[in-house]
């Protein structure tokens, strides 16, 4: 929890990588559409809670893991929770567009502070992110072999390049 961070702690890197993908319509405890809440609002809140520590730890960096699917998203402020019309693919894309817009604006606001902000598409990484995606039974062996080859070649390379580390480093 946030209360466990010591006043003299140092935070070198924050990687915002939590995510949910194409889930059935659900809402967070706070009443937001689940993908927007988890993929964007959670990162937004955590980053803002840690921003003072990141500034005091400069040089430091923030990495926002987005997706190339952002280009299919748009932000409809009239139906932000997708209560009128829910399309799980669109909602994922919208959350990733919000990630990129957040990263760009945050980078602009943090110019000259020693805190850099990067946003990236992680590539193909084998995770449990697609647990809600229905893949026909006959196609599953092909998806596994593709993930295996791509994971061996590129697993996490983009994130490592942006962060220059693997974990969120905190030390006192």
Please list the active-site residues. 92
Which contacts of 81-86 are long-range, i.e. CB under 8 A and separated by 24 or more positions?
A: 81/27, 81/31, 81/32, 81/33, 81/36, 82/25, 82/33, 86/25, 86/33
**Cα–Cα distance between 132 and 115 in angstroms, integer?**
36
CB 13 within 8 A of CB 50: no
* Terminal Cα distance for the chain, rounded: 16
């Amino acid at each position: 929890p946030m209360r466990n961070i010591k006043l003299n702690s140092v935070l070198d890197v924050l990687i915002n990588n939590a995510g949910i993908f194409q889930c059935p319509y659900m809402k967070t405890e706070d009443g937001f559409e689940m993908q927007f809440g988890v993929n964007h609002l959670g990162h937004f809140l955590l980053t803002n809670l840690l921003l003072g520590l990141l500034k005091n730890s400069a040089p430091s960096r923030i990495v926002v893991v987005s997706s190339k699917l952002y280009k299919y998203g748009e932000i409809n402020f009239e139906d932000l929770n997708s209560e009128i019309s829910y399309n799980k693919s669109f909602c994922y894309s919208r959350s990733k567009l919000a990630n990129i817009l957040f990263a760009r604006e945050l980078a602009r606001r943090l110019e000259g502070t020693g805190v850099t902000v990067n946003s990236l598409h992680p590539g193909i990484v084998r995770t449990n992110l697609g647990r809600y995606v229905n893949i026909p039974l006959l196609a599953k062996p092909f998806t596994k072999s593709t993930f295996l080859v791509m994971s061996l070649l590129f697993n996490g390379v983009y994130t490592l390049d942006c962060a220059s580390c693997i974990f969120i480093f905190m030390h006192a």
